[in-house]
Structure 1
Amino acid sequence: MKSLSKREQLLATSMIAGFTMLTSAGIAQAQEQTEETTEVSQIVVTGSRIARQDYKSSSPIVTVDAQDIQATGSVTIDSLMNDLPQFTPSISSTSNNPSNGGQANLDLRSLTPKRTLVLVNGRRLVPSNSDGSADVNLIPAALIRNVETISGGASAAYGSDAIAGVANFILNDQFEGAQIDAQYGVTDRSDGTTQSYTMTVGGNFADDRGNAVISINRSTRDLIFNSAREFSAISGASGTTPMGSVVFDSTNLPDADVVRGYFGDSDLSLTGAFGFNNDGSIFSHAKALNFKPSDGIQYTGFYTPGSTYAFNTGALNYLSLPMERWNVYSSAKYTLNENVEFYGDALFNQYTASQELAATPAASTTGFRAPSTNPFIPADLKAFLDSRANPNSSFQLNKRFTDLGGRHAEYDYSVYQLTGGVRGQVPHSSWTYDLYAQYGRVSNIETQTGNVSRSAVQTLLDAADGGASICEGGFNPFGENAVSAECLNYIGRTSRTVTTVEQSVIEGTLQGKAFDLPAGEVLVAIGAQYRENGYEYASDPSLARINPKTPHLGADGLPDGGTIGGVEIAGFNAADSVNGSVNSIDLFGEALIPVLANLPFIQSLDLTLGYRYSDYSSIGGTQAYRADIDWEIVNGVRVRGGFNRAVRAPSIGELYSPAGVNFPAIGNASLTSGGGDPCDVTGMYRNGADKDKVRSLCLAQGISSAVIDTYTFENDQTNGWSGGNIDLEEETADTWSLGLVYQSQFQSPWFSRLSASLDYYSIEIENVISSISISDALSGCFNGTGENPNYDASNSYCQQFSRDPNNGNIIDAIENLDNLGVLKTSGVDLQVDWGIDLIDVGGPDWGTIGVNAVVGWLGSREDSVVAGGAMIDRMGTIADDFGNTFPEWKSLVSVSWAHGPFTATTRWRRVGEMTIYGSEDTLDATNYFDLSGSWNINDVVSVRGGVNNLLDQEPRTWNPGVQANTDPSTYDILGRRYFVGLTAKF
């Protein structure tokens, strides 16, 4: 059994000690919300396979309902879920780079979406990605009755992927009548318009023995550019510009006196980038020396005199992704007799979304080798080149292709999921059964424009006439020079990829009373499941060609010292096609055992045991199990908790994805943080206590002694390779929980509707499937975490990347998946509900006041890059990539008022203070306030409206941020916005 730390023991003891205070306040369980599913009013509890008469959740659970969803004014469900402390906002509608193509994924406990299982009516939603994560955009919001979230391992009940927990979307499958719903929203900047229109029709048939319902929805969301908001208009600093630049080979540098004399700077490094002004002169990116702004380049906002020049890539990126969606859901059921009920449902979804990135950058390994004979070389650059030891050698040329426009990706999704089954009472017994089959398919066609053929550009550069004989005007990369339509057509590429995900499930369950004990009935559920997941990615031939680096040939046809290669396309990341499937057979069982009852201080004591054995075609057999207690001390006072062993089998993408190109961020060198290249002389590593050891390691890795003391790296990205691993094993997680719940027994109008729950959780995942990021590799290699004290170039972290022999820059970062480190998180959730009728407490007859508060405290969030490595606690920090946001405190508080046909609700969303990971800079706590209301005009028509982010609170910003100088999923980036809606029921 896992031992608790002193801090955790103290916390657990304090929770038990707090029992007296809770009971004196009359606090009640907030989650006692139920779903009626059978004629005998049995309740299905999310997280359990056993239906029971008395809803008792032995795991932490939080529930939101349809009114909560409507109050957000959003057309996608993830907006509300991400406000809850249990969820960490991840890649969403405001995530342009990276993007999941407009998908909305849920991330419980900051353990990533692939570890959060999404259910619809207790059954798996078809995944939309190779990692197994599901897109909640597919769920028909108009039919959602409530969403129940179990946080913590639930693999024993539901199988793989439920390491972080389960989000169960319960739909209304008993609809009668007709309903029309319309909603419109817009920001107070008059952009980001959202619209949603839904028609739902349903009713009983065959003397009420059957029911059928169909709901059709169309929703849209307009795009917003970064340039539309002041905080993001200048963002995405990049050293790759439309003017082009040269990075001289460290083994063939120009004469230092020539270069430094040209700029009048005796300390200027020769290893940085040198750009081309439109008048033919040269400017240095370092210190922006001799930079001459061009009227044609509108987005050069990072330039300030004396600072490193960088190009503003972010202005025309999307701040909010556009979407157009059609959603159709239908369900039907028919009761033949008390023993047989047939049921089925069908989900159809078609939607389009898009992504916009800055114009294609070609740099470093995706850049070019320009021959010294190119006819467009300006005179000033020619003087630099001629001063080299080998003046006839080619040189590294980097360029951003703004003439082709931005890199645009259009995503076209077609989704359906079909379910059919039979359930009922086993004849002549109290047992029930449920047998169903389900098939789901997601198809995504992605069309990309703005890609550049590197071989075509290289052909133009190598041509004696600069390519003029190939396309009109040829290609002049030295400055911002217009490129003819013929040449753009010659170098530009449009690609098309197709991703298909399929899921088939056959499952049968049987449940009922096994026998009686003195304390009550022993209920048992047993079942079996067959599941198969298939994944196919058909890459465009232009994207799939991944070529080895080859020597560049000079004018004499012989290698001139440079190399070309890596990939054929610059623009969107290249990846080869992949096709694979994984199937599993699961056997599972669960037992609810009443241990004691009707004793002093033991009103009831129940034990729930669960076990699942899964046999995967990929990894073989795995086991998951659970043991939970539910102890009702006296009426209304409960202690709950237990242990769960959860597993997650590697997904198809994690197993079979071939190595593809990526461009991971490493940040910028700084004296106060460990970002950028550790060998950069302007950074923390080269100026710290071990600077001499760092210098020696840089030399050992291949940086030339001629530039080691002036070496700089001015980009914040490098190139790398990432892919799957067929030797992956399953992840395992141990989840502990301990909770205190009280349901008020007071008759006082002040306390009769006061309720609360307090739950501690601890999750530890081992054998974590992850990759060593280039940032972690650099930190480990240069002893940032104490794991290479001898600064040994053969250290395993140092083997995760290489250096370009021409200039010493980091290249070929290897980020392939493996079973690596450990991930731990723990904390406390508090939920409080309270309500009063004003007239009952001596006030006027002005209706009812209700309060709901959900507060999350994060006690720890630790991880190690590899097993046995240093554990790093990231609690209270935010990092420069999605899903790495760990505020110590996060809360959502709602206050509602209802009187007759009128309701009004105000919400307070709070994200706590966070430190930017790797620095000492802090982002203040952020508070958002929302206001909404509704009016039931009559029995048919109701209207609603609201204002979100009432005070127009801007997001917290830092450079570079996750995206657009902020984290657009954690913080509200749209500003104040309004919505109105109408519902008509017939």
Structure 2
Amino acid sequence: MPGPGHQHARFGGEEIHMAHDSLKHFFRVSSAAIALATVVHAAPAVAQQGDAAPAGDAASDAADRDIIVTGSRLGRTGYDAPTPVNVVGAERMNNLAISNVADALNQIPSFRAMSTPQMNSFRISGNIGARTLDLRGLGATRTLTLVDGRRFVASADNGTVDVNSIPSILVQRAEVVTGGASAAYGADAVAGVVNLILDSKLNGIKADMNSGISQRGDARTFYAGLAGGTDFAGGRGHVIAGIEYSREWGMGACEVRSWCAKYTNYVPNPGYNTTTKTSTNGLPATLVLDHVRFLYNENGILSGATKPNGTGGTTTLGQQVLNVGATSLPNALRNKQFDSNGNLVDYQIGSLLSGLFQQKEFDSTQPYLVGLSPTTLMVPTRHVSSMVHANYDLTDTIQLSGEFMYAHVVGGPAVSTPPLDGPATIDINNPYISAATRATILAADPAITKLLVNHSAVTSVGPSNVATTTIDTYRAAIGLKGEIGTGWNWDIYYTYGRVKSRIDDVNNRLKEWNNAIDAVRVTGANVGTSGLAIGSIVCRTTLTAPANGCIPINLFGPGGVSQAAAARYMVPEWQTRTYQQHVVALNLRGSPFSTWAGEVKVAIGGEYRRDTAVGYTDANTLAGNFISAQTTALPFTKTTVAEGYFEAGVPLLKDSALGKSLDVDGAIRFSHYEPFGDATTWKVGLVYTPVSELTFRVTRSRDVRAPTAQESSPNSTTIQLPLPDPFVGGNTNQFVVTGGNPNLHLERANTFTAGIVFRPSFIRGLNLSVDYYDIKVDGAIDSLTGPAITTACKNQNLLCNLIQFNPNGSVNTIFSNFQNLSQLHAEGLELVADYRFPAFGGDIDLQLNANYVIDLKTIGATGLVTQLDNWTGNNGSVTNIQGVPAYKIDGIMTYSIGDWAFTWHHRYVPKGILDPTKIAPGDAGYDINNPNSVNINYVSARYYLDFAAKVKIADTRMGGAFEVYGNINNVFDKGQPAQLRLIGNALHFDSIGRAFKIGIRATF
């Protein structure tokens, strides 16, 4: 059956089904190659840096000299750049049957796939199904994404670019600088830069179409792209154009994969005493268990009750725990649920009941068990992206260019949680409670006035917050470039970008729902002049406002929420955004003079940029009518930047006794950000080649990041809450300010890289680089809770500037909005290698990318260190997984012979930590009585093998060539590691399992 969103398909469905039949035949023919893969997969491999030809290939070397590598405004090749540069080309995508350049980049170990269709659920700060790029695990907001060296308009409040908006069929290669590059490109290049280079010299026509499906019949995909280029005006002009359509049908909820359907989750040990910090049952404080269900169901489970305590307050019985608690329920009321008539019946509690969790396998006699939320494992997406680019030689030395890009991207629907009342407070006289039940309860304790009921309206109203995002991107550019004399060139350009996005979220609950569950029966005593019928059931609020339209809800038994009530209280919400960007830039490059070692190269230029964002939302959200609003308005925000830069490359040695070459590269940029202040960024780099086979490189840079629209928005909210006040004791009413902060400053970072490049003459075709990186970010933008701020001020004399006090010394206001509070640190080693050699009558290409993380951490304003390295588990929110493995290895081996090519793609993630805050048996300092103790605290390693094949078929009649290709992803059908909780960790592990794709390419 089609996946979610199938009913919205306009085309592509037939191609999917035809391709499904073709897959069986194609991969039956390839079975011998798969067997070969199982033999060679353990062999060591080094990988090619992108798709460069082997060293020593004269034609390739000549072509490389024409490349201006990202991270510098001066012309260099990737291995010769002072800053590490990894080039990922179209050939990698073709060999692996990858249609989206972001998917190819996210395979590289230096990236963290933070935002992909497998990672995205409903995130207001981004877009559903978006593909953004995150280098070094420092966050996508600290990775600058460029197209042909120019900035691209933001797609979300957090300033990130959705790569779905860029037609991958026109991307020739992606250049990745894995180090700071703010001196070359300005703010946000703290972790690095990804520069997508378009094939602006395309001549002829190329087309690509493919279809894919998982072994289990879901995760269907379809892609079609067409691009072409030709000269005009007698060769003085050249135009290219391209368009692509891509659709991913996604995957369903957790139950569609066995590794997720076993419902692994954390459960607090019910035998652990948190007061005495001792275990009474021989188990640690936290348990990682399978078959964990929430203590909710459609019938409604009695989880507690309240009664007056005689002093004006209430005493809670049960406290959401049926069998234990400071004040337990009477025995007659324990382990009970309601039936559809409001009668109490037995409920079979699972083992290790603790709070809202129980270990309980599915029971057909009690079908309304609530496990995980129905969040989709992979959200559906579809997009159309297109571009046209033209250039024309106005004179022999001046060229005019222009381009226009349009993309329409739809993500979702993404499904969030069902409505959970945990617990709902129900009056003992609620008319939906049977007389027999009321009598039983009062017989157990006559003082009980209210019941606490854990209820899930899954079958009645379905999941809440089913969201879809729509993004329309428009981008236009016009530019001039030319030459001045010999060896000097210049360019000037203007770009305009505009993104209009919308989030539609259906089935969000209004606060009025809470009035609806407080039902009463109309009696003669309260009917008054309202005209209400005696004996009818209404909301309590209707007694005093008969025309309020409130529809009472029965929380007892399945189907108790009527369609009318669901329609009234589960309503849609929406938000819109408009992002605009204007950029004007001028660059001049050339060689003013030469030294004894060669030409001195310089680049100088300036840029002006204006970014704005504004957004609106629905009336219910603005009025605060939702129990938990998922959308927000965004007041108008504007950032303007005026900056100028200078860069120089000076050769100091050439073929001397001290070495073959020595080059020094330096750059400085001054920027004025309104309203965030001034910044001077710089870099100094050195490349030393003592002998032709060996090169050393080192760079030091100062980088910055500007606050995003989300962070700098004046959209702050002030609410008054009773919170602990450590200055006067007890709780006091305090104003807490949350949200954006227009008074933020720039984040500042110091980056150091050092590496070695090895190209031995005795192994012709081998290129290998190893680089060390160390990135420290100060003033990282973060927010803290009110209690954390007051505690830090009282105990550590920190953050007191975020508090306003009353005259008596008590807390008046806490500024809990975004502040420049934290520090980040990323340190590690990166290996890039490629090797090509003849073998078995053909050629073998080996490519290797690896990243070893020495340290990745955040240091909060209170000194709290969160270690993110060697962490591959999920310790909490599904949308807040941040850790990275200690290392990742990505290797490719391609064997080409004649018109055939076979590719084996190897991915390895080592054993990691499940939760860095926990200690398990075997760990240093483990103690069963430690509140941080846990029974399991590791995540198993995973090795994945993908196999792809392609064959070229010449078509002499049309003068072109065809290429048929296909692949098997996850050949061994490895699921996610068994220890992962909730819906796993798609940052590093495959969620789909074995999947197939078949396609055809054509060139004319």
Q: TM-score, normalised by structure 2?
A: 0.76
- Is 1:334 matched up with 2:392? yes
Amino acid in structure 2 at the alignment position of 1:918: T
Amino acid in structure 1 at the alignment position of 2:567: N
Instruction: For 1:608-623, list aligned pairs within 5 A.
Output: 608-623=665-680
Partner of 1:888: 886
The 1-side partners of 2:323 and 2:137 are apart by 51
- Name the CA shift for 1:646/1:883 in 2 (closer, same or farther; >3 Å): farther
Amino acid in structure 2 at the alignment position of 1:232: C
Q: Deviation per CA, 1:193-233: give whole Å up to 9, x if none.
A: 10101121221111211111111111111121122111223
Match among 141, 148, 154 for residue 121 of structure 1: 148
- Is 1:937 matched up with 2:948? no
Contact 2:822-2:860 at 8 Å conserved across structures: yes
Partner of 1:971: 989
- Shift, 1:501, TM fit: 1.5
The 2-side partners of 1:214 and 1:413 are apart by 21
Match among 160, 163, 166 for residue 187 of structure 2: 160
Amino acid in structure 2 at the alignment position of 1:930: D
Partner of 2:342: 280
The 2-side partners of 1:475 and 1:823 are apart by 49
Partner of 1:564: none
SS of 1:542's equivalent in the other structure is helix
Match among 472, 480, 484 for residue 558 of structure 2: 480
The 2-side partners of 1:368 and 1:95 are apart by 32
Instruction: For 1:705-724, list aligned pairs within 5 A.
Output: 723-724=739-740
SS of 1:190's equivalent in the other structure is coil
Amino acid in structure 1 at the alignment position of 2:136: R
Q: Deviation per CA, 1:366-424: give whole Å up to 9, x if none.
A: x86655543224554676579889756x6766654432222311212211111110001
Partner of 2:782: 770
The 1-side partners of 2:78 and 2:893 are apart by 29
Partner of 1:423: 481
Instruction: For 1:435-454, list aligned pairs within 5 A.
Output: 435-454=492-511
Which range is displaced more, 585-594 or 488-497?
Answer: 488-497
The 2-side partners of 1:388 and 1:582 are apart by 64
- Shift, 1:781, TM fit: 9.6
- Is 1:582 matched up with 2:639? yes
Match among 253, 257, 274 for residue 229 of structure 1: 257
The 2-side partners of 1:240 and 1:454 are apart by 20
Contact 1:359-1:400 at 8 Å conserved across structures: no
Partner of 1:809: none
- Name the CA shift for 1:860/1:539 in 2 (closer, same or farther; >3 Å): same
The 2-side partners of 1:151 and 1:522 are apart by 25
Contact 1:234-1:314 at 8 Å conserved across structures: no
- Shift, 1:658, TM fit: 2.6
Contact 1:368-1:458 at 8 Å conserved across structures: no
Match among 969, 974, 995 for residue 953 of structure 1: 974
Amino acid in structure 2 at the alignment position of 1:885: G
The 1-side partners of 2:834 and 2:560 are apart by 64
Contact 1:573-1:660 at 8 Å conserved across structures: no
Which range is displaced more, 367-376 or 268-277?
Answer: 268-277
Match among 510, 518, 542 for residue 596 of structure 2: 518
Contact 1:71-1:946 at 8 Å conserved across structures: no
Contact 1:36-1:42 at 8 Å conserved across structures: no
Instruction: For 1:31-110, list aligned pairs within 5 A.
Output: 33=52, 42-51=66-75, 56-99=80-123, 100-110=127-137
The 2-side partners of 1:58 and 1:350 are apart by 38
Contact 1:323-1:352 at 8 Å conserved across structures: yes
- Is 1:873 matched up with 2:873? no
- Name the CA shift for 1:605/1:623 in 2 (closer, same or farther; >3 Å): same
Contact 1:471-1:490 at 8 Å conserved across structures: no
The 1-side partners of 2:408 and 2:715 are apart by 29
- Is 1:405 matched up with 2:403? no
Partner of 1:502: 580
Instruction: For 1:200-599, list aligned pairs within 5 A.
Output: 200-226=227-253, 227-233=255-261, 235=263, 238=294, 241-244=297-300, 248=305, 269=328, 276-278=337-339, 280=342, 302=360, 312=370, 314=372, 316-361=374-419, 363=421, 370-378=426-434, 380=437, 399-402=455-458, 403-406=460-463, 407-426=465-484, 428-459=485-516, 461=518, 464=521, 465-467=537-539, 474-546=552-624, 568-570=625-627, 572-599=629-656
SS of 1:79's equivalent in the other structure is helix
The 1-side partners of 2:890 and 2:245 are apart by 29
- Shift, 1:862, TM fit: 2.5
- Shift, 1:338, TM fit: 2.8
Contact 2:297-2:456 at 8 Å conserved across structures: yes
Amino acid in structure 2 at the alignment position of 1:948: N
Amino acid in structure 1 at the alignment position of 2:894: S
Contact 1:576-1:660 at 8 Å conserved across structures: no
Q: TM-score, normalised by structure 1?
A: 0.78
- Is 1:137 matched up with 2:161? no
Amino acid in structure 2 at the alignment position of 1:280: G
The 1-side partners of 2:62 and 2:760 are apart by 28
Contact 1:28-1:744 at 8 Å conserved across structures: no
**For this pair of structures, how many residues does the alignment match?**
844
Match among 896, 901, 908 for residue 899 of structure 2: 901
- Name the CA shift for 1:266/1:837 in 2 (closer, same or farther; >3 Å): closer
- Name the CA shift for 1:383/1:621 in 2 (closer, same or farther; >3 Å): farther
- Name the CA shift for 1:263/1:882 in 2 (closer, same or farther; >3 Å): closer
- Shift, 1:657, TM fit: 5.6
Which range is displaced more, 892-901 or 226-235?
Answer: 226-235
Which range is displaced more, 84-93 or 348-357?
Answer: 348-357
Partner of 1:918: 917
Which range is displaced more, 86-95 or 106-115?
Answer: 86-95
- Shift, 1:456, TM fit: 4.9
- Name the CA shift for 1:414/1:529 in 2 (closer, same or farther; >3 Å): same
Contact 1:443-1:498 at 8 Å conserved across structures: yes
The 2-side partners of 1:475 and 1:147 are apart by 56
Contact 2:482-2:490 at 8 Å conserved across structures: yes
Q: Deviation per CA, 1:112-146: give whole Å up to 9, x if none.
A: 10000111111112211112111111121111111
Q: Deviation per CA, 1:334-380: give whole Å up to 9, x if none.
A: 1122321011221110121214334543557xx86655543224554
- Name the CA shift for 1:592/1:374 in 2 (closer, same or farther; >3 Å): same
The 2-side partners of 1:251 and 1:645 are apart by 63
The 2-side partners of 1:825 and 1:54 are apart by 23
Contact 1:359-1:404 at 8 Å conserved across structures: no
- Name the CA shift for 1:178/1:341 in 2 (closer, same or farther; >3 Å): same
- Shift, 1:659, TM fit: 4.4
Contact 2:611-2:639 at 8 Å conserved across structures: yes
Contact 1:759-1:830 at 8 Å conserved across structures: yes
Amino acid in structure 2 at the alignment position of 1:974: I
Partner of 2:834: 833
- Shift, 1:40, TM fit: 12
Contact 1:374-1:466 at 8 Å conserved across structures: no
- Name the CA shift for 1:899/1:346 in 2 (closer, same or farther; >3 Å): same
Contact 1:280-1:478 at 8 Å conserved across structures: yes
SS of 1:376's equivalent in the other structure is coil
CA RMSD in angstroms, aligned pairs only: 4.2
The 2-side partners of 1:263 and 1:105 are apart by 45
- Name the CA shift for 1:73/1:314 in 2 (closer, same or farther; >3 Å): farther
- Shift, 1:765, TM fit: 0.6
Q: Percent same amino acid at aligned positions?
A: 23
- Name the CA shift for 1:38/1:577 in 2 (closer, same or farther; >3 Å): farther
Partner of 1:685: none
